[in-house]
Structure 1
Amino acid sequence: MWYCPIIKTKPFGCEHNPQSKYLVLGIPLDNSASYRPGTRFAPSYIREASCNIEFYSIYANIDVDNILYNDLGDLAVVPGDNEKSIKIIEEAVEIISEKYNDHVLFVLGGEHTLTYGVIKGIKNVHKEVGYIVFDAHLDLRENYLGYKLGHASTNRLITELLDIKPLIIGARAFSSEELNYANKQNIPFIKPKEINDKTSLDIIQDYLSTVKHVYISIDMDSIDPAYAPGVSNPEPLGLTPSDLLSVLKYIIENSSRILGIDIVEVNPLYDVSDITSILAAKIIVEATGMIQLNFS
């Protein structure tokens, strides 16, 4: 068993409730950044932002302010070593999933590679896991800049090593190699320009009908940089926040159970007035309201 130290932090929402069914875990992983490093600072910035926004969910039409969160703090990962870091993440999340079996885990990243470790840990406890990811990129590269265990390969790792086929929403930046791989593996993905088509909802519903439990990953670069400039790999022509939240609401309403949601690739070093961190915090509040409304 690996030693998995937790660093105590300011709690999400600035108030802590150890009895809450909503858990928060920060994972400041920032090892394989290929363009703009800095995601390791995101958990603290998102928490700070959460202390300065309203906690009423307009999508669920309920007040989240009295729910609060059980913020576990930040997981101490290994700088420069994704292999050890992923092992730490896997074992920590497995322990958390066993101890809080009926809870919902919100993860604050951190680079997207952490999602592989989180899902490994969850899958060790909950054997059947569906995986829906909002992302500008397909993240299906066999390796990128020498990294096989890096952010550009996250969805390929999950597909091949965990035998979980993802549903990717918001993709608009990918190589021909990734596109060929997605087609060969029958990995469904929805482009931003297709997000309001009825066929997109059909694709989501078809996917949800095949899975028992759902884990959702939100790479903030899925959102157009006009709304979320503070990310490591921005791509234009993305989703609006309303697009993302409307689809997220549909997913939650039509799922049997939500195991967890991560927010990854926020990069405060390239943000403007912290609007990306604020949006990330707001997405967590809205998701909490949606889950509370549908599963309480």
Structure 2
Amino acid sequence: MNFLYTYETLKLALPLTEPEKARFVIIGVPFDGTTSYKAGARFGPTLIRQATLNLESYILDYDIDIAGLPLADIGDVAVVAGDPRRTADRVRKTVEEVLRVNPRAIPVLLGGEHSQTLGAVEALHPASYVVFDAHLDLRDQYEDNSYNHACVARRINELHVREVMFGVRSGTGEEVQYAEDHGIKWVHARDYSLDAFIELVESLPEPVYLSVDIDAFDVSMVPSTGTPEAGGLGFWDVVSAVEWLVNSKHVAGFDIMEVGGTELGDPTALTAAKLLFYFMGVSGSMK
């Protein structure tokens, strides 16, 4: 079927089905309109898809081949250049249409600026928002824009969604105060452990939206993300949390955002693609 705000582009090199029949529906969001340091997130969806060509579809850890899972890829959202709010509206409407034709589907965003997570959250109405991110993203405005990538967690909080954050190592004093005033829990990358993750997440109401800003990982793994920060998490830190979350909570939506770069084989995209496969693998292995 055709989606109003999407267009055909490179898709995952896996057997694909129609969105009406899929468990996972891939949506690319090639938006790069408010990047404040290192441009390139517009190429994220394409680079992640290309990076999957390097990966085996069989996941050793779960004894599952994700090539056998019902998977759809509807292409990329046609972004509104320089306008994160209007682009997020298109993301919202696209996710809403996916759910209309298949209420059981899990929308999976590949991006693209983290600002665009807002559109998916607006469509899914989760009770909780779990995010891995180097930054608090709780500014009210940044560069005179309330929908800048540095404001996304604040806009989501204003939707009365419970928020917990992991891997944080950058923010302002005002953001820390906002988090304290609004009951937003976060764990510094230096203090992160699976036990710390479970402690904050196990009591969260469902459904949960899971977002991974790729800059949560250590910069050595993701050098082409838009706002890289040293001192981040390791790959298995995040995978172990994803495994626990998928097996313990209803995850209604998932995204991997802020993947940048311009070349094939960029480790940023390779990290994202591997994480995508692990998310689908552990979700697909559940009975």
Match of 1:94 in 2: 96
Aligned-residue offset at 1:68:
5.5
TM-score w.r.t. length of structure 2: 0.93
SS of the equivalent of 2:17 reads coil
Matched, 1:183 2:175: no
Contact 2:41 2:226 in 1 (8 A): yes
Mapped partners of 1:197, 1:74: distance in 2: 33
SS of the equivalent of 2:224 reads coil
Match of 1:261 in 2: 254
SS of the equivalent of 1:77 reads coil
Which digits, 9 at most, give the CA deviation of each residue in 1:102-143, with x for residues without a partner? 0111111110000011111122xxxx4321111000100011
Mapped partners of 2:9, 2:99: distance in 1: 21
Give 2:112's match in structure 1, choosing from 85, 110, 113.
110
After TM superposition, list the pairs within 5 Å mapping 1:138-157 onto structure 2.
138-157=136-155
Structure 1 segments, 4+ long, off by >6 Å, are none
RMSD of equivalent CA atoms: 1.7
Contact 1:12 1:69 in 2 (8 A): no
Match of 2:281 in 1: 289
Mapped partners of 2:256, 2:248: distance in 1: 21
Match of 1:243 in 2: 237
Aligned-residue offset at 1:14:
4.2
Q: Does 129-138 or 12-21 show the bigger shift?
A: 12-21
SS of the equivalent of 2:230 reads coil
Contact 1:194 1:200 in 2 (8 A): no
Matched, 1:166 2:189: no
Give 2:269's match in structure 1, choosing from 277, 280, 292.
277
Which digits, 9 at most, give the CA deviation of each residue in 1:249-285, with x for residues without a partner? 1111110x2111111000113x794111111111111
Match of 1:13 in 2: 13
Match of 2:40 in 1: 38
Mapped partners of 2:66, 2:142: distance in 1: 40
SS of the equivalent of 1:118 reads helix
Q: Does 219-228 or 192-201 show the bigger shift?
A: 192-201
TM-score w.r.t. length of structure 1: 0.90
Give 1:215's match in structure 2, choosing from 183, 205, 209.
209
Aligned-residue offset at 1:49:
0.9
Give 1:132's match in structure 2, choosing from 112, 123, 130.
130
Mapped partners of 1:22, 1:291: distance in 2: 10
Aligned-residue offset at 1:60:
2.8
SS of the equivalent of 2:254 reads strand
Q: Which amino acid aligns with 1:224?
A: D
Aligned-residue offset at 1:4:
3.2
Mapped partners of 1:197, 1:112: distance in 2: 24
Q: Which amino acid aligns with 2:63?
A: N
Instruction: Extract unaligned runs of 5+ from structure 1.
Output: none
Contact 2:130 2:165 in 1 (8 A): yes
Mapped partners of 1:272, 1:96: distance in 2: 30
Which digits, 9 at most, give the CA deviation of each residue in 1:43-72, with x for residues without a partner? 111111112211122443322232252101
Which digits, 9 at most, give the CA deviation of each residue in 1:196-239, with x for residues without a partner? 263442112122xxx12111111000000111112000001100
Q: Which amino acid aligns with 1:104?
A: I
After TM superposition, list the pairs within 5 Å mapping 1:45-64 onto structure 2.
45-64=47-66
* Number of residue equivalences: 283
